[in-house]
A and B are shown apart, each in its own frame.
Chain A
């Protein structure tokens, strides 16, 4: 399913998107597959799957640790595609691939999109590829019908914002704070203002990520946006619990406790 369809469906159901981020290969390759399926069972709407990169300069300590553990377990872009081809037999919710540019650049941009297309993964977002460097990326993505998720942040000017939403497909990823990933307290009033500004220039769904870790935050943010992306908190839960018994059940109940529709 494409992001576009997913958001239409959510709109019809009057729901907001819960997007869960997990790094591929953490805590290991085999568990990643099971984790993704459990996230689906928990009621997560979209999975954002991170392809690990050695130097994740927009990420905080939690995701840094997970990424480097994944690399040590041998995670890489090719294995990620292999795992996806197996996972997608049972995974029906959309998957967005998230990574830094160098792994894709080395793999080959065209080959990357072609592979996505063949597998039926329809969306991608690249942390360190701002609009100015995206010309070829956008052209190729359009050719292969891949949805390109771009970022907007509190420092993004209105001029840039107009250009960014024009190239965004699926949803716009709004970064809640100037900063790196990791749980924190959020101030809502500037956030509301920014989201309003985006809504005034585009109809694209806007989801908010970075810092989100509690149900209260999620409830509040979903009242003025189209959904949330929760990353570090889930990754930390995995880190703290994967060696315990019934880990997957624990994960499922943790994620359920964050979801708005499971009261």
Chain B
């Protein structure tokens, strides 16, 4: 079975729910993508950039200390070691190159944590494209380092003051810009969400994560892993890791969403707690109220703070190919510290959700072989962590003092 089908559906999920103005542009994008996918010049240039600019392949690192601690065999796919510090660069280089091949001079993008924004600004600087990044005002405060990076790279960062002033609103603004400037502008969407062909296109550019991991684990362990583990906001690093293992039915997929303040409070767990809806271009699970109004999400990790999720994940959930769980802010902060202290690797807060789930997973799976997608590095989050208070209202320093 080919996923998605020609109308952009993964089973009953996906599609193209967009204003008429964008219809022709999405058709054009789909056609261009199918063309360059087989274009030798494009592939040569893309692979050259992945290797020599982004620094691929990334290593598959065996985490000996953490493995000993949790009695599992844990490997990390080190996307945090890529240029700009997260998996986002894989997709940004691919799409920016596509934009260039399509003759577009201007690129726009939305960003939450700023990692996608930085990756787009980077690719635009490299390829000589004008770059505008939409970012929620709330996130601009939370991730100021990334804002400075984007500006340094020559991008204009446009603050979004509507709605919850986070990722979903940045996405709305990017769509509004695109509807207005559609003829000369390329919308470089950062996750496997939005209307067809984006969920397919972003997945394809990110599936290098899973392809390399599969090859590497077979070489290092002479077998396939028992589990693949990745955090899910929109879901691009997770799909990138999962998709190349889709046919390996014995490999179990676990996507970790953000439970934020808790699943009965504000959170971002669209797959675990959301319901079927049509949001930002596709049919998928979404956090919404009884009347179909989209609800505000929350996560300590700005990159997961999104009420929707990629349609391919909704499909994996509905056919039970993947399991989705949720991890709250507190646990994520624990995961952040756990990896930093045991392995000397500071993960992004987004990634920390996947790290945090290793503990509960290890309880019933001693000896299992697990690959975790270490989707990004955590330098950007040190500010959030240092200000973070636990639910008991004690600062981190106070807790440490009592140890």
Q: Do A and B assemble together?
A: yes
Which residues in A have some Cβ–Cβ distance to B below 8 Å? 53-58, 60, 64, 68, 71, 76-78, 101-107, 127-133, 150-157, 160, 164, 175, 178-180
With a cutoff of 8 Å between Cβ atoms, the chain B residues found around residue A107 in the complex are 291-292
- Confirm or deny: B179 has a beta carbon within 8 angstroms of a beta carbon on chain A: yes
Is A153 within 8 A of B163, CB to CB? no
Residues of chain B in range 33-56 having any CB-CB distance to chain A below 8 Å: none
Partner of B21, one of A76, A105, A131, A175: A175
With a cutoff of 8 Å between Cβ atoms, the chain A residues found around residue B277 in the complex are 102, 105-106
Q: A54-B293, A129-B17 are in contact. List 14 more A-B contacts (CB 8 A).
A: A53-B292, A53-B293, A57-B19, A58-B179, A101-B278, A103-B293, A107-B291, A128-B17, A130-B16, A130-B20, A132-B16, A154-B21, A155-B22, A180-B179
Number of interface residues of B (CB under 8 A): 36
5 chain-A/chain-B pairs, Cβ below 8 angstroms: A53-B293, A57-B175, A103-B291, A107-B291, A175-B21
Q: Which residue of B lies closest to A127 (CB)?
A: B19
- The 6 residue pairs across chains A and B that have the minimum distance between CB atoms: A106-B292, A103-B292, A76-B291, A179-B180, A151-B20, A54-B293
Is B172 within 8 A of A133, CB to CB? no
Partner of A179, one of B23, B179, B278, B290: B179
Least distance between B65 CB and chain A CB atoms (Å): 44
A55-B168 contact given A130-B23, A178-B180, CB 8 Å threshold: yes
A102-B18 contact given A57-B176, A155-B182, CB 8 Å threshold: no
Is B168 within 8 A of A157, CB to CB? no
Which residues in B have some Cβ–Cβ distance to A below 8 Å? 7, 15-25, 162-163, 168, 172, 175-176, 179-183, 277-281, 286, 288, 290-295
Least distance between B14 CB and chain A CB atoms (Å): 10
Is B20 within 8 A of A133, CB to CB? no
A178-B279 contact given A57-B172, A58-B179, CB 8 Å threshold: no
What is the bound-complex CA distance between A155 and B292, given in angstroms?
A: 29
What is the bound-complex CA distance between A102 and B281, given in angstroms?
A: 10
With a cutoff of 8 Å between Cβ atoms, the chain A residues found around residue B168 in the complex are 55
Is B293 within 8 A of A175, CB to CB? no
Q: Which residue of B lies closest to A103 (CB)?
A: B292
What is the bound-complex CA distance between A150 and B291, given in angstroms?
A: 24
What is the bound-complex CA distance between A152 and B17, given in angstroms?
A: 15
What is the bound-complex CA distance between A56 and B294, given in angstroms?
A: 11
Is A180 within 8 A of B176, CB to CB? yes
A133-B15 contact given A71-B293, A105-B292, A106-B291, CB 8 Å threshold: yes
With a cutoff of 8 Å between Cβ atoms, the chain A residues found around residue B16 in the complex are 130, 132-133
Q: Which residue of A lies closest to B276 (CB)?
A: A105
Q: Which residue of B lies closest to A75 (CB)?
A: B291
What is the bound-complex CA distance between A106 and B274, given in angstroms?
A: 13
What is the bound-complex CA distance between A107 and B20, given in angstroms?
A: 23
With a cutoff of 8 Å between Cβ atoms, the chain A residues found around residue B23 in the complex are 130-132, 155-156, 160
Q: Which residue of A lies closest to B279 (CB)?
A: A102
With a cutoff of 8 Å between Cβ atoms, the chain B residues found around residue A55 in the complex are 163, 168, 172, 279-280, 294
Is B294 within 8 A of A54, CB to CB? yes
Least distance between B221 CB and chain A CB atoms (Å): 45
Least distance between A120 CB and chain B CB atoms (Å): 23
The listed residue with most A CB atoms (<10 A of its CB), out of B23, B179, B291, is B291
What is the bound-complex CA distance between A42 and B301, given in angstroms?
A: 52
What is the bound-complex CA distance between A128 and B278, given in angstroms?
A: 9
Q: Which residue of B lies closest to A128 (CB)?
A: B17
Partner of A128, one of B19, B25, B286: B19
With a cutoff of 8 Å between Cβ atoms, the chain A residues found around residue B25 in the complex are 155
Is A156 within 8 A of B24, CB to CB? yes
Least distance between B343 CB and chain A CB atoms (Å): 40
Is A175 within 8 A of B172, CB to CB? no
With a cutoff of 8 Å between Cβ atoms, the chain B residues found around residue A132 in the complex are 7, 15-16, 23
With a cutoff of 8 Å between Cβ atoms, the chain B residues found around residue A58 in the complex are 19, 21, 176, 179
What is the bound-complex CA distance between A154 and B288, given in angstroms?
A: 33
With a cutoff of 8 Å between Cβ atoms, the chain B residues found around residue A104 in the complex are 292
Least distance between A168 CB and chain B CB atoms (Å): 12
Q: Which residue of A lies closest to B183 (CB)?
A: A178
With a cutoff of 8 Å between Cβ atoms, the chain A residues found around residue B21 in the complex are 58, 153-155, 175, 178-179
Is B182 within 8 A of A178, CB to CB? yes
Partner of B291, one of A78, A152, A153: A78
Q: Which residue of A lies closest to B286 (CB)?
A: A102
Is A102 within 8 A of B182, CB to CB? no
Is A105 within 8 A of B278, CB to CB? yes
With a cutoff of 8 Å between Cβ atoms, the chain B residues found around residue A129 in the complex are 17
Is B17 within 8 A of A101, CB to CB? yes
With a cutoff of 8 Å between Cβ atoms, the chain A residues found around residue B179 in the complex are 57-58, 178-180
The listed residue with most A CB atoms (<10 A of its CB), out of B18, B20, B172, is B20
Q: Which residue of B lies closest to A60 (CB)?
A: B176
Q: Which residue of A lies closest to B277 (CB)?
A: A102
